[in-house]
């Protein structure tokens, strides 16, 4: 059984509250860091750990921290991205609900490393009950001297504030988040300047995902090198996966990124196989924005090798035959699911969540949704499939923020891997409203040409 670094104590009775959390060894990393390490040493440990951002892009956290501008006399900020609105992703919610003190402990370490005296948690508006949990934990931490002025007598000062969003996916994009946090309309900013130079209130700012910040705690407790020993290659440490869809055991799992996709889906320790004895058809392995893969390419790469649950292996083959680990929202589709309908649902989501600033995303997402609706309801034409392809290619890479790409990729991947199913919808306009295309050949072994 894999080691758990984040969720190890999640099921200890009362771990939500300070006394239990502290009794179980909580906050010892803060003692270690504030009393025995300089801020730069903390950053150095995070660098050594190889920790990559858990919010989706997978950017090395230590490197991001070292880019932070440090002009004299200008405050710096840490902002924790708890907007978690990507369909399929619900791991941060779990962390904050069960282990709020772990996040706060991580924030103290990170703020100390960055030299921030004010830090924010920007939380998704729909998580209406979680700010209370966080604020209670913050109050407990302050009461016990972990927050406020002169923490542990070291002279270091830190306050943490919780800010609720109003229910917009786009406010998870880091610069839109900062705009919203400043009280403005949540439009992504045009970069450069990057937040590391001009972020919140035009001051240097680091934005990190909840899980990224929580992972700093085991890194400091065990040391960056120890943390880096877990996992493989550039996928170090553990990753939370939120698994959902047609599986027997949906939920949040902590994995150490050495297991295969097959094991993750079918073993009883994790998803427990496909529900009702159905067969696996497809999977979106890292949240709604990443490319969907048919069963055969999901379990094996195009080279015929086993695919593993880590950054490198999931993206093996690029977008042609691979996908991404993304934010870890693992959505499984069985043989009864319709890929056209699934793609339509995602397109509708992105149309609804576009901020509307830039023309390709504002206009293109709505256009794709309408065409997909026609295809799904048997009113589509063959030429619509190529048109969809063309539209997504004109959005991708040409927008201000990655939401445009995130809207384009699922459509591109669905057409790339499931073109027959789209064509079947066009050729069988009546039948497609009554039944689904089914598994077809999507789980058949892939032919791998022999190499000399």
Partner 1 sequence: MSEQLFKVTIDNITVEVPAGTTILQAARQIGGDVTPPAMCFYTPLKGSGGKCRTCLVEVSKGSEKDPRPMPKLVASCRTTVMDGMEVKSVTSQRVLDARAGVVEFLLINHPLDCPICDQAGECHLQDLSYEHGKGGTRYEFQRRTFKKHDLGEFIQLHMTRCILCYRCVFTADQVTDKRAHGVLDRGDHAEIATYIEKNLANDFIGNVIDVCPVGALTDKTFRFKNRVWFTKPVNAHRDCDKCCGEVTLWMRGDEVFRVTARKDEWGEIKTSEKTGKTGWICNDCRFEKKKASDWTVEGLAPIARHSVIGQGKYPGLQRPSETIERVLDGRKPRLLMDIHTVSEVNKPGIELSEIKGPATGDVFKQ
Ligand X SMILES: Cc1cc2nc3c(=O)[nH]c(=O)nc-3n(C[C@H](O)[C@H](O)[C@H](O)COP(=O)(O)O)c2cc1C
Q: Where are the beta strands (DSSP E) in 309-357?
A: 329-334
Nearer to ligand SF4, 17 or 194 (CB): 194
Report the residue from 354, 408, 409, 417 that binds partner 1 according to the rule CB under 8 A.
354
Nearer to partner 1, 190 or 448 (CB): 190
- Report how far residue 420's alpha carbon sits from residue 116's, in angstroms, rounded to the nearest whole number: 54
Q: Which one of the spans 8-16, 150-158, 394-402, 422-430 is the region binding partner 1 (CB under 8 A)?
A: 394-402
Write out the two tokens for 420: 């027959």
Write out the two tokens for 304: 């015929």
- Report how far residue 164's alpha carbon sits from residue 130's, in angstroms, rounded to the nearest whole number: 10
User: Would you report the helix, strand and coil content of the chain in percent, each value rounded to 5?
Assistant: 45, 15, 40
- Report how far residue 377's alpha carbon sits from residue 371's, in angstroms, rounded to the nearest whole number: 10
Report the residue from 14, 233, 304, 356 that binds partner 1 according to the rule CB under 8 A.
356
Report the residue from 354, 364, 384, 391 that binds ligand SF4 according to the rule CB under 6 A.
354
The tally of CA atoms less than 13 A away on the side-chain side of residue 387 is 15
Nearer to ligand SF4, 16 or 198 (CB): 198
By CB under 6 A, residue 178 contacts ligand SF4:
no
Q: Which does 80 bind (CB under 5 to 8 A by kind): ligand SF4, partner 1, ligand X, none?
A: none
Total residues binding partner 1 (CB under 8 A): 28
> 89 near 242, Cβ under 8 Å?
yes
> 122 near 180, Cβ under 8 Å?
yes
By CB under 8 A, residue 352 contacts partner 1:
yes
- CB burial of 344-366 (b: ≥16 within 10 Å; e: otherwise) equals bbbbbbbbebbbebbebbbbbbb
Give min distance, CB of 395 to ligand SF4, in A.
8
By CB under 6 A, residue 362 contacts ligand SF4:
yes
Nearer to ligand X, 87 or 245 (CB): 87
Q: Which one of the spans 202-210, 243-251, 308-316, 365-373 is the region binding ligand X (CB under 6 A)?
A: 202-210
Give min distance, CB of 46 to ligand X, in A.
11
DSSP of 226-244:
HHHHSEETTEES-EEEEEE
Total residues binding ligand X (CB under 6 A): 25
Question: In the 8-state DSSP scheme, what is residue 166?
Answer: -
- Report how far residue 151's alpha carbon sits from residue 17's, in angstroms, rounded to the nearest whole number: 20
> 309 near 259, Cβ under 8 Å?
yes
Binding mask 253-272 for ligand X (x = CB under 6 A): --------------------
Binding mask 403-422 for ligand X (x = CB under 6 A): x--x----------------
Give min distance, CB of 326 to ligand SF4, in A.
17
How many other CB atoms are there within 10 angstroms of residue 136's CB atom?
A: 14
Nearer to ligand SF4, 330 or 350 (CB): 350
Report the residue from 33, 339, 401, 412 that binds ligand SF4 according to the rule CB under 6 A.
401
- Report how far residue 193's alpha carbon sits from residue 203's, in angstroms, rounded to the nearest whole number: 11
Interaction site with ligand X (CB under 6 A): 53-57, 59, 61, 81, 83-86, 169-170, 172-174, 207-209, 212, 401-403, 406
Which residues are at the interface with partner 1 (CB under 8 A)?
168, 170, 185, 190, 351-360, 362-367, 370, 387, 394-395, 397-400
């Amino acid at each position: 059984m894999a080691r758990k670094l984040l969720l190890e104590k999640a099921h200890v009775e009362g771990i939500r509250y300070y006394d239990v959390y502290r009794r179980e060894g909580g906050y010892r990393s803060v003692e270690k860091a504030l009393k025995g390490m300089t801020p730069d040493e903390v950053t150095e440990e995070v660098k050594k750990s190889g920790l990559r951002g858990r919010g989706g892009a997978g950017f090395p956290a230590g490197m991001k921290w070292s880019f932070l501008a440090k002009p004299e006399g200008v405050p710096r900020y840490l902002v924790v991205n708890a907007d978690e609105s990507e369909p399929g992703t619900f791991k941060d919610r779990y962390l904050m609900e069960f282990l709020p003190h772990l996040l706060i402990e991580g924030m103290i370490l990170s703020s100390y490393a960055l030299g921030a005296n004010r830090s924010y948690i920007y939380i998704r508006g729909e998580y209406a009950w979680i700010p209370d949990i966080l604020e209670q934990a913050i109050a407990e931490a302050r009461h016990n001297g972990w927050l406020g002025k002169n923490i542990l007598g070291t002279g270091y000062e830190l306050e943490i504030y919780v800010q609720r969003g109003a229910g917009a996916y786009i406010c998870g994009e880091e610069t839109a988040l900062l705009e919203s946090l400043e009280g403005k309309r949540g439009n992504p900013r045009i970069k450069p300047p990057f937040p590391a130079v001009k972020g919140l209130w035009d001051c240097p700012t680091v934005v990190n995902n909840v899980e990224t910040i929580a992972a700093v705690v085991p890194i400091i407790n065990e040391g960056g090198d120890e943390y880096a020993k877990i996992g493989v290659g550039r996928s170090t440490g553990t990753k939370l996966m939120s698994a959902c869809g047609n599986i027997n055991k949906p939920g949040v799992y902590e994995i150490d990124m050495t297991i295969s996709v097959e094991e993750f889906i079918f073993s009883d320790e994790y998803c427990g196989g496909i529900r009702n004895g159905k067969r696996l058809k497809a999977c979106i392995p890292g949240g709604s924005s990443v490319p969907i893969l048919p069963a055969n390419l999901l379990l094996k790469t195009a080279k015929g090798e086993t695919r593993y649950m880590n950054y490198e292996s999931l993206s093996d083959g690029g977008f042609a035959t691979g996908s991404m680990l993304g934010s870890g929202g693992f959505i499984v589709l069985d043989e009864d699911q319709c890929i056209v309908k699934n793609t339509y649902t995602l397109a509708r989501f992105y149309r609804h969540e576009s901020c509307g600033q830039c023309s390709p995303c504002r206009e293109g997402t709505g256009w794709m949704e309408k065409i997909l609706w026609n295809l799904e309801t048997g009113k589509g034409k063959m030429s619509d499939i190529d048109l969809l392809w063309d539209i997504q290619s004109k959005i991708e890479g040409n927008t201000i923020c990655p939401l445009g790409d995130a809207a384009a990729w699922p459509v591109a991947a669905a057409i790339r891997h499931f073109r027959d199913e789209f064509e079947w919808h066009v050729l069988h306009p009546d039948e497609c409203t009554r039944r689904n295309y089914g598994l077809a050949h999507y789980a058949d072994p892939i032919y791998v040409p022999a190499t000399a």
